[in-house]
Amino acid sequence: MADHQEATITLPTAPTSVTAARRHVTDTLRAWGLPDGADAMDVLRLIVSELATNVVQHTFGRSPGFTVDLRLEEAERLRLGVTDSHPGRPRRQSAAAQQDHGRGLVVIRTLTAESGGTVHVAPMPDGGKTIWVEIPWLPLPAG
């Protein structure tokens, strides 16, 4: 395996793009050797679904598209980034247990922390941002 691998897709900000983003992540991770049964596969699919859904629901037409980046460096750390051009930074919302919305970032941060990773937001020169999730790369089958 190469020291650095990268896969990127840019999608329109539309509800159908959430499925396309999840499929891109799944197909890329499979190609890089992560089996479908691995916990990381499920975690990363859920994270990209949450991030893509946030773009679709919260950019209010100010980001016509978004980009999903996957980067594997030295077969040790996997980075998943979702970039949009909306200038607003994500904010945690208080979410009661019975609410259907408002917990996406909490879910992302929790899943990432449980996987031994980190989440951070990087501003983009155009005023947008990338939300990066970084986790250890463990391409082992679920146990």
CA 143 vs. chain centroid, Å, equals 24
State the pTM of this model.
Answer: 0.87
| Res. 7 pLDDT band, cuts 50 70 90 | very high
User: What is the structure's pLDDT at 126?
Assistant: 84
Say which residue the tokens 């946030």 belong to: 54
User: What is the structure's pLDDT at 92?
Assistant: 61
User: What is the structure's pLDDT at 142?
Assistant: 44
User: What is the structure's pLDDT at 141?
Assistant: 45
For the beta sheet containing 4-12, the strands, ordered from the edge strand earlier in sequence to the opposite edge, are: 4-12, 65-73, 77-84, 129-136, 118-123
User: What is the structure's pLDDT at 139?
Assistant: 64
Closest CA to 138 of 116, 123, 121: 116
Do the beta carbons of residue 128 and residue 63 sit within 8 Å? Answer: yes
| Over residues 22-27, mean pLDDT | 98
Nearest-angstrom CA–CA distance, 57 and 80: 20
Nearest-angstrom CA–CA distance, 124 and 143: 39
Say which residue the tokens 């994500």 belong to: 90
User: What is the structure's pLDDT at 3?
Assistant: 73
- Work out the percent of the chain whose per-residue pLDDT is above 90: 63
pLDDT (tens digit per residue) in 76-125:
899 999 999 988 877 665 555 445 555 678 889 999 999 999 999 999 99
